[in-house]
Amino acid sequence: MSDEKLPQEENEEKIPTTETVSEIENKIEKDKEVLETEEKTTESSSSSESAVEEVSTEETSENNSVEETIVEEKKLVNESSKEDASQVKASEDEEGEDEDEVASSEDEEDEEEHEEKAQKDYSSLSEKELVAELDKLLKTKKIQELKHDVEEIRSEFNSKFNEELEHKKEEFLAEGGNIIDFHYTTPLKKEFNSLYFDYKEKRNSYYKNLKKDLQANIDKRWELIEELKGLLSAEENINTTYNHFKEIQEKWHMAGAIPRDKYNTVWNTYHHHVENFYDFLHLNREFRDLDFKHNLDSKLKIITRAEELGQETDINKAFRELQMLHKMWKEDIGPVAKEYRDEVWDKFSEATKVIHDKRQEQLAEMEKDFEANYEKKKQLVEEIKKAAEDTKPSHQGWQNAIKKVQELRDAFFNTGRVPRANNKEIWKAFKDATGNFNHQKNSFYKNQKKEQYTNLEQKRELIKIAEENKDSEDFEATTALMKKIQDNWKNIGHVPRKDSDKIWKRFKKACNHYFDRLHAQKNEANKEEMVHFEAKQEMLEKLSSFELSGDHKVDVKAIKEKITAWKEIGRVPYNKRNIEQKFNKTLDGLFSKLDLGKKETELIKFDNKLNTLVNREDDRKLQNEHFFISKKIDETKDEIRQLENNLGFFHHVDENNPLVKEVHKNIERHKEQLEVWKAKLSKIKEVRED
């Protein structure tokens, strides 16, 4: 092959000699946008593998075949055909390997990032939340990006629905149903199936269209090759022919992706005819040399930019731009003269190596962090396992465990990336641990539901008893029975939430019906108590507007007369007893306005309190009050003795000493209080003896 032919790893389009470094940078930025678009398409396509169960085998196979043929421009490797292998120089092989290394590094980085983003735990979501999440994904993301998430959602939804299905099946069979007649579904299940069907339809449509596009692109490229071959026999001016060649190159760049398995054949054929065209240009050496000069200027500008990137502090940014430079070098710029070919490539390789070395150092440092993250995530997984093992078999125990595991899950996702080699391993361990926790949790609550249905039957029995006895005329026997079943109701435990309110209302209604009848009967039997109530109500209204005269002796006498009159009225019905509290509250308001001694006020209030307890016939509270007062007397005596003993330490101190005076003051205060407690004790003894 002639030395002037286009090398296998270099491409066609030349950059005009008038371009500056700034213009080269602008071109780089444009190429970045193009490559980013291609990357998104590539990632989306590579992640969208067929997993639709209901799709026919033929459709699934066709979709997978299309996925495998998606061409990633940044991954294309310019391998020569066996027939042309002898024509590729060693320096050209070196260039191809270096570019492959750049592309390979980029691919690995993209794959890691994609895997990291794809990891999302849906196990904590309810069926309703899973349906909403699937609906949201279908509306907001590209169909080719959804496979991982959709399958995770589908797995979790089916797991939860199957548990529910098994429970319903058990209930159906327990009630005597025939398994042949069993059928169960829910509106959520129908909605999920509908969304999943939409996903499959859109996905199939996407890959069918993609296959058509790939075929159209390869047809277009073959047409360009035929057009390129025709240039050699064109009867036209060499300048016109060269411009025609440039147009073919431009169309080639815009032709789009083609099936992967056809790429090498098409690309090598194209290069073969490009080389033939350069052989043809050899007939016009001046024109060819001008073209070589243009290409040399462009490659020198790329080398200059690559060397500048070696000083860039942002290694990732420099590496991404280096990828653009390699793409331009390979695909956009034609060959240079033979005497410069090795030299310019060596300079470009040297600049590339500087950035590669820096990036490898950065990756080595990052790998240390990744290892630390890996260890942290392993520990978090172990804690999730331990949470499942140590959870107490109670509702509160599981609620605490759920909260703890949620915190561990959040910590897992916030920890950061792990080494790529451990990524799938740690993700599987995490999924297994959380899945096991959820399984044990669901098993617990499944058993709880069984207990709740048992409780439900017990409470229905109590409802039956209450309803059968609500109209009983044997109030003495039935009242004890109703109180007993109320106590039993409290001790039975929880029932299914959907039945809780309904059965409680029935039970409450039956009990209230009976006790309303009981109170009505008592009210009828104690009409006198209703008269007492009305009299006290009238007296309370008058007492509320009672005005003090200002003479506390007169006022005290008047208040005591009111208390005596209140006592003489007598008891009120049980359900009206709160009037006593209103009376006491009114008295407290009047006492607060009186200028009485502390002891007198305390005893008057105490008399009223005793009166209330006596009227209620509450012996238990009288007994408690008696015990309380006796205890306070003993405590007060002990305080006085302690203070008097303390005075013994101050026998040599002047009586006017502030500390001594304070002790004497406390002794007097406790003695006064002791007299009040003794007076109260005398009064309560009198009441209890009566």
CATH number of the domain within which 657 lies: 1.10.287
pLDDT score, position 67 = 43
Residues 113 and 30 in one domain: yes
Tokens of 468: 């059968």
At 382 the three-state DSSP class reads helix
Domain annotation covers residue 75: no
Report the pLDDT value the prediction gives residue 76, as an integer from 0 to 100.
33
In a domain, 55, yes or no: no
Quote the DSSP letter at residue 132: H
Instruction: Give the contacts of 152 (CB within 8 A, at least 6 positions apart).
Output: 120, 122
Supply the pLDDT for residue 690: 64
Sorted by sequence, the CB contacts under 8 Å of residue 683 that are 6+ apart come out as: 603, 606, 607, 610
Q: Are residues 400 and 295 in the same domain?
A: no
Nearest to 527, CA basis, from 454, 576, 598, 459: 576
Q: At a CB cut-off of 8 Å and minimum separation 6, what does 450 contact?
A: none
- The answer to whether residue 602 is domain-embedded is no
- Using left for φ > 0, alpha for ψ between -120 and 50, and beta otherwise, residue 578 falls in alpha
CB-facing half-sphere around the CA of 290: CA atoms within 13 A: 9
Q: What is the DSSP letter of 14?
A: P
Q: Record the tokens describing residue 474, joined without a space.
A: 């044997």
Taking 50 as the pLDDT cut, the residues of the chain under it are 1-25, 27-28, 30-108, 111, 114-118
Query: Do 513 and 530 lie in a common domain?
Result: no
Indicate whether 36 and 121 sit together in one domain: yes
- Picking from 466, 483, 517, the residue at the C-terminal end of a domain is 517
Q: Which of 490, 517, 544 is the last residue of a domain?
A: 517
The sign of the torsion formed by the CA atoms of 555, 558, 562, 567 equals positive
Residues 251 and 200 both lie in one domain: yes
In a shared domain, residues 331 and 227: yes
φ, ψ (nearest 5 deg) of residue 679: -65, -40
Q: Are residues 577 and 655 in the same domain?
A: no
The residue type at 196: Y
* Residue environment code for 579-598, b if the CB has 16+ CB neighbours within 10 A, otherwise e: bbeebeebbeebbeebebee
Note whether residue 134 is domain-resident: yes
| Whole-number pLDDT of residue 38 | 40
| 577 plus 636 within the same structural domain | no
> Where are the strands (E) in 523-589, listed by range?
none
| Half-sphere exposure of residue 379: CA atoms within 13 angstroms, side-chain side | 8
Same domain, 492 and 535: no
Residue-range definition of the domain harbouring residue 469: 448-517
Same domain? For 164 and 297 the reply is: yes
Alpha-carbon distance values, 421 to 78, 104, 627 (Å): 29, 16, 76
What is the pLDDT at residue 283? 55
Distance CA(591)–CA(601), nearest Å, equals 7
Token pair for residue 15? 């950059």
| C-beta pairs of 396-403 under 8 Å, 24+ apart in sequence | 398/441, 398/444, 398/445, 401/437, 401/441, 402/441
Rounded distance between C-alpha atoms, residue 488 and residue 505, angstroms: 16
User: Are 667 and 640 a contacting pair, CB within 8 Å?
Assistant: yes
Q: How crowded is the C-beta side of 249, counted as CA atoms within 13 Å?
A: 20
Alpha carbon distance 134, 120 (integer Å):
13
For tokens 């998606």, the residue is 70
Statement to judge: residues 285 and 401 lie in one domain = no
Q: Is residue 384 part of a domain?
A: yes
Which residue, 310, 336, 362, sits at the end of a domain?
A: 336
Look up residue 219 and give its two tokens: 């047809």
The tally of domains found in the chain comes to: 5
Residues with Cβ within 8 Å of 40's Cβ and at least 6 positions away in sequence, in order, are: none
In a domain, 309, yes or no: yes
State the amino acid at position 9 in one-letter form. E
Instruction: Say if CB 88 and CB 272 are below 8 A apart.
Output: no
**CB-CB contact of 513 with 495 (8 Å):** no
* Claim to verify: residue 508 and residue 566 sit in the same structural domain: no
Question: Which residues does 211 contact at the CB level (< 8 Å), separation at least 6?
Answer: 62, 65, 66, 69
Question: Is 112 inside any structural domain?
Answer: yes
pLDDT at 75: 36
Distance CA 103, CA 319 (A): 11
**Structure token pair of residue 508:** 């409450």
Residue 39 CB neighbour total at 10 angstroms: 16
pLDDT of residue 175: 73
Residue 29 located in a structural domain: yes
How many Cβ atoms from other residues are within 10 Å of residue 489's Cβ? Answer: 18
Residue 463 three-state SS: helix
- The pLDDT assigned to 525 comes to 67
